[in-house]
Structure 1
Amino acid sequence: MHIRAYLRASTKEQDASRAKDDLRRFADERGLKIVSWYVENESGASLARPELFRLLSDCHPGDILLVEQVDRLSRLNAEDWSKLKAEIAAKRVRVVALDLPTSYQLANSGDDFTGRMLDAINGMMLDMLAAIARKDYEDRRRRQAQGIADAKTRGTYKGRPEDTERNAAIMTMLTNGQSWASIIAATGCSRSTLSRLLQRVRTEAEG
């Protein structure tokens, strides 16, 4: 059995490794050793998480996927959560979360009957917390959209401040003919941002 720790934050401005000490302390207190860490900055509402799936690819039956909170693993909608659960089940990986006390016993469960009972209980609790995490995500998105709509109505909405330094660097890359794939890999920007900045490069060239 190997303990594999997964750390996630939603944006590059957040520190995905913030909970590392808590996970290490949890393992140490139970005489467990974390063999590998998987850290990424991706939305929990998306299944497009390379490090999470690299973790699952590395796993062997009986390994433990250790997370700080269930929402670090999932803010997914019901369909995507089912897909992720199926992947976890296929690998026969056990999920242990610091905010899910019933999962702690899975880390040291040796009896087959007890392990199966704990798996069933833990599965129900995981589903509940994943649903709560998704609702929290949707509520925050709705409040954010309402706030933006109100600000636009009042004429006070300014949008997200532009990262002028990053955008200038991207425009230089575009001017030098660098591929979109390499720019995205280097900067983490979206294709829509690249398209917008490419149009700006062309406009400046014409001017």
Structure 2
Amino acid sequence: MAESNCTRLVGYARVSTKDQETRMQIDALRAAGVQDIRQEKCSSVGARPELRKLLSELRHGDVLLVYKMDRIARSLKDLLQILESVKQAGASIRSLTEPLDTTGPIGLFIVQVLGAVAQLERGIIRERAIAGQIAAIKRGIVWGGRKPSLAPDQASMALEMRRQGKTQQEVADHFGVSRSTISRLDSPPKPRLYERRPVLAPYLSSK
């Protein structure tokens, strides 16, 4: 794809380890007419200072070229954030080996599809998380907070001792726990989990 004379091409190449080479990527970028090429050797999960610097230096009309999108992005979410940074700079991005080129309408359409896929993925994850919480509630599992200091049978025994007239401190000393632990046993039960998590209420209205 020919670029106009006023278009500045900027390339980015990355390999995951210091033992690997960026030569193939650089050769492909140079063949595409890129002279300004930034490169780094680091895993996608590590810091990418050259990429961060490159994105901050993009200007209106620039085109950022990469050999493959997985050389610049570590995930779909990361890719969308990078695409947004490029867009905010008034620049475009193009992959040499994939049909992603935001200089044209097809590439922009693909970005919109990727955004929709990401939104769908977030929705699926949210629904799975809610389903897991609901299943836990229905099994009587309470999430969050510290592990109880007393086992269920010990808690029952402690309450029985309280009914027999033992003070909270006496019961606490018997079990080797703090007085506040026994005090909590005497207190009214806490609201059920979904009452402390309003987002779950609509899913549990029939419970």
Q: TM-score range by the shorter chain?
A: 0.3 to 0.5
Question: Structure 2 length as normaliser, TM-score?
Answer: 0.46
Q: Which has the higher contact order (CA 8 A, sep 6+)?
A: 1
Q: Which has the higher helix share?
A: 1
Looking at CA atoms only, which structure, 1 or 2, has the larger radius of gyration? 2
